Structures are given as C-alpha cells and as structure tokens.
Amino acid sequence: MSSSNNDQNKDQNKGFFSAMTSGFSMFGNAMHRSVNGLLGYEGVEVINPEGGKEDAEEEAQRGRWKQEDRDSYWKMMHEYIGSDITSVVTLPVLVFEPMTMLQKMAELMEYSYLLDRADECEDPYMRLVYASSWAISVYFAYQRTWKPFNPILGETYEMANHGGISFISEQVSHHPPMSAGHAENEHFTYDVTSKLKTKFLGNSLDVYPLGRTRVTLKKDGVVLDLVPPPTKVNNLIFGRTWVDSPGEMIMTNLTTGDKVVLYFQPCGWFGAGRYEVDGYVYSAAEEPKVLMTGKWNESLSYQPCDVEGEPLPGTELKEVWHVADIPEKDKFQYTHFAHKINSFDTAPRKLLASDSRLRPDRCALERGDLSKAGAEKSSLEERQREEKRNREAKGHQFTPRWFDLTDEITSTPWGDLEVYRYNGKYTEHRAAVDSSDSINEVDVRSTEFSPWQFGNLSAE
C-alpha cells in the first residue's frame, strides 16, 4: 500500500480499506472453475492457486489421496454437499495431523510477545497495531492442510514454559463440538469460546469461526474483542489441498471504541493477492490513524497516516512482526512452535490425564503408524459413545472442570454463541501442584489418556 493509491481509493474518509471492501462478497474471487466429467463426476471444483483455469484438470490428479481412496471417498461425501459436517462425518486418519483442536488453539500463543508489547504500550493506536499483528501471526500456522483431531468430551490441553504463560483449554461440549481456552501471564489474559460452523461444497469447505475471543491487557484493563475472517479449504479430495481466509478481521477496543480492520485478499489467478493483508487502525471517531500492510505468511508493517488514510510526511513503513524460521520439509508443515506444543517440554508438572499429548491415536500418527492411529481413533470414539450412554442412564449431566457455562449469548456474524467463562480452578490447581514437594516425578508419557468424567466429580 502506498500514497499512490489516491482519490480512487478513498471512501468516506476511510481510505484504501473501505474502497477495496465495498464490493466484496463472501469468498468472492475469480478462482472458481470446475473440472466437468472428471473421472465420471460432474461439477468437481478444483483450484490450482498458482495457476489458471486451464490447470484445473491436471491439478485434480495431484494431492495426497490414492485414486481408489479418493474416488470412494468422493462417492461417500457427495450426499453431504451443502451441509455442516462439523461432527457428522467420520474422516480417515489419512487427512489428520498429530494434534488436536485444543492444541491448535494454543498456537495463537507463539508470538505472545506482541501482546506483552501491546500491554506496555502507551499509544492507544500502536497498542492495536501490536495486538492485531498477534492475531494475524497465527495464520501462517493455520495454512496447514492437515486436520486436527476432534477432542473427546472432557479432554484438555495444558501449556507452560512459554513466555511466562499458563494455558488451559478444554472440550466443553460434544454436540455441538465446543472448546474453551484461557491463557495468562503478567501482561494479559486471553479467553476464548470456540465453535466452528462449516458448509461442505464438494471439493471445498467453508469454515466459519463461530466463537468469541477476548484479550484483557492488565496494565490499563483494556479489553479487546476479535472477530476473525472465515476460512475456505480448497481441493479437499481432488488436487492439492490449500487454505485461504478472504475477508475482514476486526479487533475492537471495547474500552475506548478504537478498532483495527484488516482485509485478507482472496487468492486470484496465478496466486495474485494471495497472503496479502491491508487495513487501518481507526479511532473511536472512525478516523484512520495507522495503516497496516503485509502478508500473513511473511510479515506485517505499519505507518502513521492522515485522515484520508495516506502516510504522514516524514514517516516510514516499519515492520512489527515477522514469521519465525521454520523446519525444512516437515511432514506435517509444522512450525518449531507446533513441535514444541506437541512435546512434553511445554507440559507442566503432574500433567492432567485428559491432556491431548496422551491420546493414543495422536501418538500413533506422530510415529507414522496410520493403521494403529485409525484403530485407536475408532476405539476412543466408541468409548466416548459408551460413556455417554452410561452417563445418560444414570441421569448425570456432563460438567466441564475448568470452565462454566454462563447465561450470556453473544452474537457473531455467523450465528449466536453460548459463552463459557474460565472459573479460576485451574489456577488454584496449578498453584497447589507447583508448590507441592511431595509429588513423585514420573514419566508423564506413561500416563493413560483418560478424559472421562461424570456428573459432579471433583477436579482432583
């Protein structure tokens, strides 16, 4: 973005961003093309992000599926086109990565130092530059094309030894699948209720983040609310799977009314616009104060601007975030931080037996044993059904340990959401464990995975 984007990019004093988004429709781009008659199937949409329309049929032959598996899976999934498949379809282990959704939530903590800087910052607009850069930073990890495991009801994930943060997430509902998370260090608290809504379109999937994310900066008590853009997963069955997140990300300072609106460009022909993010930090009076630009897979920069959204004379574009070095040729496209999340190096003392690291299907997949991973996944899912039957037979209600269901219903662009609130019990639990000298240090890897609980069982 530069000052050369003059009057044509100004709209009601909101500059480049409003002009660019005024005609935007959800997932609208020039990329849609189909491979009609491919292997006898009509209307299979295949998109090569690096190519054009003529590349679609060649692209369809690529990907991780063997042809016979791909064809049979397409026949099975065809009846679900147009449906929300969040929890109705059993997927083969082939498409999974050795991580759960609860761990995926923790990936947002990789660049948590940006929230530390936001808390320390005196300038209210720079505070939003740091905080929104933190929110953008996770998209590099989110472009992975493997699916995380759905957590078992009552499953948890704990993380320590990173940025002074204590992190806990828990699967609080099975139907619909919902997770809650809480993270805290000396600078901020992070609270999220996560629920996904999907629409299966055949060879692609629209994913809507029907959740609520709040960050509280401790120094001034500022509360930030985050609304991320939707995501589109392309080439699920035919072609090489890839992810795009076209649309708006909005972070609002609920304390002052200031906000930042960032626009994720949709991927166009031959990759045009892919990864690009542009937008502004606005005052409560909706005047642009800082422009932001970059690529969510590389870096973000900022520059003070005038009321027209143009860079202020005498200022320069400065980088605020840059993606960390990544492993080369990693099987699951993991970052170093993703490996850290999966390891026991980030586990606290006396790891809960319900922790995702201990899942036998996840562990088997991490070792590369797909057959055992599939069998363990089926076994866990069957045990979950059995536990539900037993619970219902006894008239017991499932109660999360670390989060409480509130009476609050929050509205999102994609529907209403029940809000879970962190109850503080995990903080007490960790303090008690960490202060105890009587705990026998054992190899936590030998702990049997056990997320099961009934009724009002204690958290001990």
**CATH code assigned at 262:** 2.40.160.120
Mean pLDDT is lowest, of 25-29, 82-86, 435-439, for 25-29
Q: Residues 153-206: pLDDT tens digits?
A: 999 999 999 999 999 999 999 988 999 999 999 999 999 999 988 898 888 899
Number of residues assigned to the chain: 460
Q: Residues 317-334: pLDDT tens digits?
A: 999 999 999 999 999 999
Checking if the pLDDT of 18 tops 70, the result is no
Count of structural domains within the chain: 1
What pLDDT, on the 0 to 100 scale, is given for residue 13?
36
List strand residue ranges (DSSP E) for 287-414, in order: 288-295, 299-304, 318-322, 403-412
Residue 460 lies in a domain: no
Checking if the pLDDT of 16 tops 50, the result is no
- Over residues 361-390, the mean pLDDT reads 94
- Over residues 61-78, the mean pLDDT reads 84
Residue 287 lies in a domain: yes
Measured from the Cβ of residue 1, the count of other Cβ atoms closer than 10 Å reads 24
Mean pLDDT is lowest, of 170-184, 286-300, 369-383, 425-439, for 425-439
What pLDDT, on the 0 to 100 scale, is given for residue 440?
63
Per the rule left: phi > 0, alpha: psi between -120 and 50, beta: everything else, 333 is left
Checking if the pLDDT of 15 tops 60, the result is no
Residue 292 lies in a domain: yes
- Over residues 110-120, the mean pLDDT reads 98
Query: Mapping DSSP to helix (H, G, I), strand (E, B) and coil, where does residue 229 land?
Result: coil
The greatest distance separating any two alpha carbons of the chain, rounded to the nearest whole angstrom, comes to: 72
CA dihedral 139, 338, 427, 227 (to 10 degrees): 10
DSSP one-letter string for 184-195:
E-SSEEEEEEE-
**pLDDT class of 439 with cuts at 50, 70, 90:** low
Of 159, 151, 153, the C-alpha closest to 172 is 153
- Over residues 7-23, the mean pLDDT reads 37
Checking if the pLDDT of 53 tops 80, the result is no
Residue 111 lies in a domain: yes
**pLDDT class of 413 with cuts at 50, 70, 90:** confident
Residue 395 lies in a domain: no
What pLDDT, on the 0 to 100 scale, is given for residue 39?
56
Checking if the pLDDT of 78 tops 90, the result is no
3-class SS letters over 37-106: CECCECCEECCCCCCCHHHHHHHHCCCCCCHHHHHHHHHHHHHHCCCCCCCCCCCCHHHEEEEEHHHHHH
**What mean pLDDT value characterizes the chain?**
87
Query: Mapping DSSP to helix (H, G, I), strand (E, B) and coil, where does residue 426 land?
Result: helix
Residue 172 lies in a domain: yes
Comparing 59 with 313, the larger pLDDT belongs to 313
Query: Which domain range does residue 141 map to?
Result: 7-346
Residue 458 lies in a domain: no
Checking if the pLDDT of 90 tops 80, the result is no
User: What one-letter code names the amino acid at 68?
Assistant: E
**pLDDT class of 217 with cuts at 50, 70, 90:** very high
Residue 371 lies in a domain: no
Residues 6+ apart with CB under 8 A from 374: 92, 93, 361
